[in-house]
Amino acid sequence: MSNKLEQLKHMTLVVADTGDLDAIRRYQPTDATTNPSLLLQALELPAYQPLLQQAWQEAKESQISVYDSFAALLACQVQKQVPGYVSVEVDARTSFDTQASLERARQLIAGIQKAGGDPKRILIKLASTWEGIKAAEQLEKEGIRCNLTLLFGFTQARACADAGVTLISPFVGRILDWYRAQNPEADYAGSQDPGVQSVQRIYRYYKERNYKTIIMGASFRNLEEIEALAGCDRLTISPKLLAELEADPEHLERQLSPQQPPQDKETALTEAEFRLALNDDAMATEKLADGIRRFIVDLEKLEAQIEKACR
Which residues are tagged catalytic? 125
DSSP string, 155-193: HHHHHHHHHT-SEEEEBHHHHHHHHHHH-TTS---GGG-
What is the helix (H) or strand (E) element at residue 14, kind and residue range? strand 13-17
Instruction: Give ∠ CA 128-96-61 in degrees, rounded to 5.
Output: 105
Q: Is 144 helix (H, G, I), strand (E, B) or coil?
A: coil
How far apart are alpha carbons 51 and 139 in whole angstroms? 27
Beta-carbon contacts of residue 50 (< 8 Å; ≥ 6 apart): none
Beta-carbon contacts of residue 283 (< 8 Å; ≥ 6 apart): 152, 153, 175, 178, 179, 194
| Of residues 85, 70, 84, 82, the one with CA closest to residue 24 | 82
C-alpha distances in angstroms, 175 versus 11, 81, 92, 256?
Answer: 24, 31, 20, 19
Ramachandran class of 150: left when φ > 0, alpha when ψ lies in -120 to 50, beta otherwise: left
